[in-house]
Amino acid sequence: MKYVSTRGLRDLGGFSDVLLMGLAPDGGLAMPERIPTFGQDELESLRGLEYAELAHAIVRPFIDDIPEDDLRRMLRATYHPDVFHSTEITPLKRLGDSNLHLLELSNGPSLAFKDIAMQFLGQVFEYVLERRDQHLNILGATSGDTGSAAEYAMLGKTRVNVFMLSPHGRMSAFQQAQMFSINEPNIFNITVQGVFDDCQDLVKEVNADADFKARHAIGAVNSINWARVLAQAVYYFKAYFALKLPAGQTVDFCVPSGNFGNVFAGYLAKRMGLPVGQLVVASNENDVLHEFFSTGVYHVRRAAQVAQTSSPSMDIGKASNFERYLYLVAGADGVQTRAWWEQVGGSKPVDLRDSGHWDAVRASGFVGGRSSHADRLDTIRRADQQFGRLIDPHTADGLLIGERCARAGVPMVCLETALPAKFEDTVKEAVNRTPPRPQRFEGIEEQPRYFTAMDNDAAALKAFIAEKLGKAVENVS
């Protein structure tokens, strides 16, 4: 399997190449040159497989440059009950006698869905770097959960350093403590004056400096990394089989969405042949994606326009993975995708309403919805009272919009994003009690914190990276 860029550059190499690459040299995102599909008989043959074996069946067509036995070993080490505290890895729970189901994705080391893919990245990074005798310096941006998931996955990885940017003061107290309490020689936390989009833009600006990127071996773990999206597609298949439906029956999914990586993984699963009907995008007050799927206009928000909300991991005004979606909507036309994304970069709206591409958007099955602070408080309260289930505010956004978009006779699977302990202030406001947390996180907010505060300045970021790596700092501006 060869990979290409969403902006037209061909032959980026194989899976291992794009794994270490992050952004493509032309600034685009890696995509497979084709998407393998499962026929109905092939799909049915996957029923009953344990998670690691299912993952192997799903990802193997995209990863043909790693020996099969090695890939299977890494997947078994990743998707193990000792890591995810469940033999099912991603248990599916029906909510009462409703047609709503909750896909539990937060049983991993950092208590968020990002662990599902990030634990695999930790394994495969180590494997590829060891065989190439290379080192990698990961530069990432997080609105909350990616950072801790990445850092927990890279602990003890001697060939990987992590430089993680986060928006200063915009994560929950638990999220901040979870990241900043890590004091390891290969982990560097950096808070940026601004919002998540500023952090994300800094990552892209550093990646755009080809000389700096090459000299300092800069890679990525954000969902711009194809391996993240690919690994997340697996749990859509797992949820479908857990429903034990007749072959071919359609299932809807609702996904709390910020950077569009999680729900794009669902679209990938659909393109691979999984019988997915609706893919419901749940937004908070930062409703760029909801606006697009409602109106056909994608209009990014500037940093000053991004609201600070009680579901902070979705406080994003420009969704990076949306570029992958537009690429597929355009029929894998990199020239068209580049033109659209240049509009986005110039803060100009992309309007597909009067183009032939709008039909492709409508046919893709995406719909959207928007939630507010009052909505999520009410949803957390109702889920607790009706189903005996305590959920975090992002999952509440998804459950609310999932309820609104549910169709008679079609199961609606709502994706859990994090345990409520990560956002205890909002949960406590809703139900008037503090959510429980795993014992290993007791008192984490009182632990010492290790991070560096920085202005929104790419030159300063480059200098910091060069200094920490012991490299010369000349020409970093």
Structure tokens at 438: 């795993």
CA distance 353 to 171: 36
> Strand ranges (DSSP E) for 70-149?
92-94, 100-103, 136-141
CA distance 395 to 310: 12
Question: What is the sign of the dihedral through the CA atoms of 199, 201, 205 and 207?
Answer: positive
Amino acid at 89: I
Q: Give buried/exposed letters for 229-263 (b at 16+ CB in 10 A, else e).
A: bbbbbbbbbbbbbbeeeeeeebbbbbbbbbbbbbb
Helix (H) or strand (E) holding 236: helix 226-242
CA distance 60 to 129: 19
Q: How far is CA 172 from CA 6, 420, 429, 455, in A?
A: 34, 11, 14, 21
The phi and psi torsions of 288 (rounded to 5 degrees) equal: -60, -45
- Is 114 designated active site? yes
Structure tokens at 131: 């065989």
The three-state secondary structure class of 238 is helix
The three-state secondary structure class of 228 is helix
Structure tokens at 95: 């909510």
Considering only CA atoms, which of 3, 2, 15, 7 is closest in space to residue 327? 7
Q: Is 24 left (phi over 0), alpha (psi -120 to 50) or beta?
A: beta
Amino acid at 473: V
In DSSP notation, 46-87 reads: TTT--HHHHHHHHHGGG--SS-HHHHHHHHHHHS-HHHHSST
Give the CB-side neighbour count of residue 238, counting CA atoms within 13 A: 28
The phi and psi torsions of 31 (rounded to 5 degrees) equal: -140, 145
List 114, 213, 270, 462, catalytic entry: 114
Question: Which residues are known catalytic residues?
Answer: 114
